[in-house]
Amino acid sequence: MRTRVLFLALALTLTQTPAVEANKQTKSTSAPAIGPTGGYVYRYVANKQQRKDANNKWQSKDSRKENSFDPIRVAAYKSINSLAVDPSHANIEFEDQIRASFPKEIAALIRLQSKEVAKRFSPLFDTKVKIKLIGVTEKDQDFVKNELPKIVDQNGYGGDFLQDLLKDYVSRERFYYRAGTGGGSAGYENSKGYAYYLAHTSTFAKTETYWPEVAPHEMTHVLQGVLTRDSGNMYREGDPRSKVTGHYIEGSANTIGMALGFANLGWYSDEMDKLLARDIKFFKGKVSMNSTSDAVKLIKEIEGRDSDLRGQLSYSAGQIVWEYYIAKYGINKFIEFMKNMKDTETFNDNLKKTIGKDREAFYQEAGAYLLKNWQRLSK
């Protein structure tokens, strides 16, 4: 499924809202440090993730127990991380096209994370898939204008939008306004027979603002594209005849991206909460959330991404919808859902075939979970 760069446009501009505290910590775990653009701060030592705490100490583990978190959240995290591992990612081959201008430390992390996720996804593919791993900065405007369209369909990365975005990367101040993380787009080029992951950032990028969710998120779009072979693009998102919804495309990529992007359940949960809490605050007064009916209404609205609100909430609220799906039905049923897309007519038909429940029944279940999280984070 070809992802859209809406994630980049919205996620990187809304991050200027005040930082949100993580889940309540146990006494033995300090709250996380907040970086220069409001995110938590991570680094990798010997390819292992660490997070800085409020005392400026680097932590490798989280001391909170499983019972500190909602059982649904625990089940989803465990299910995603139960995916088999192929150490050589035999069914995934990377073609490295990261440009020379790309900051070396960020390029190394993207390569590392992409390969780690590939180890999980390789067993899910029945044929070998090539992924063109492309990285550009503000210094690659000519490449983006003249060469990139030959590699990736411009609909996949927004064409002129990417060029405009790179213009905001020319100074640290403007890059930090865009959250300082950079971003990406990814998908499967069905007509060309290969996948791509297009990363972009500024030459000012440093690991102190690097967000480990982005690479696994984009790799999940590759998974969506390969397993569905882009079979859902005939109708717009949210059309009753469509096979896809905005919250499926971006919400499920966020759920899996979070679970594979962070080293333990606690950090995964903190990041899930942080994103949704930020949007609850940002869109305060624009979304009613007092009942399951309200939650179901919102899920239906974010089937499409035809406004800033719906576009952004397709990520942060959508991730809760698909966290519930994976917790209740398992990651293998999510894989089955994607594979069934080729042989079903609509999103609703696919749900019925895969989990035996139609859209309305599933939304009632997921809506109750969304309501619970929304109200918890609104306090």
Residues 106-159: tens digit of each pLDDT: 999 999 999 999 999 999 999 999 999 999 999 999 999 999 999 999 888 888
Q: Is 42 left (phi over 0), alpha (psi -120 to 50) or beta?
A: beta
Domain membership flag for residue 47: no
Domain membership flag for residue 235: yes
pLDDT at residue number 18: 36
Residues 203-257: tens digit of each pLDDT: 999 999 999 999 999 999 999 999 998 676 678 998 999 999 999 999 999 999 9
What's the pTM value of the predicted model, to 2 decimals? 0.92
Going by C-beta distance under 8 Å and a sequence separation of 6 or more, which residues neighbour residue 299? 247, 317, 321, 363, 366, 367, 370
15 has pLDDT over 60? no
Residues 90-107: tens digit of each pLDDT: 999 999 999 999 999 999
Phi, psi of 188, deg, nearest 5: -120, 125
Domain membership flag for residue 368: yes
Domain membership flag for residue 33: no
11 has pLDDT over 70? no
pLDDT at residue number 114: 98
Task: Yes or no: say if 23 and 274 are a contact pair by the CB < 8 Å rule.
Answer: no
Q: Which domain holds residue 269?
A: 6-14+82-378
Q: Considering the chain, what is the average pLDDT of its residues?
A: 92
CATH, residue 146 = 1.10.390
Total domains present in the chain: 1
Helices (H), 122-240: 141-146, 148-151, 154-157, 160-167, 172-177, 214-228
Domain membership flag for residue 39: no
> To the nearest whole percent, how much of the chain has pLDDT over 90?
87
70 compared with 13, residue with greater pLDDT: 70
Sign of the torsion formed by the C-alpha atoms of 188, 191, 194 and 196: negative
> To the nearest whole percent, how much of the chain has pLDDT over 70?
91
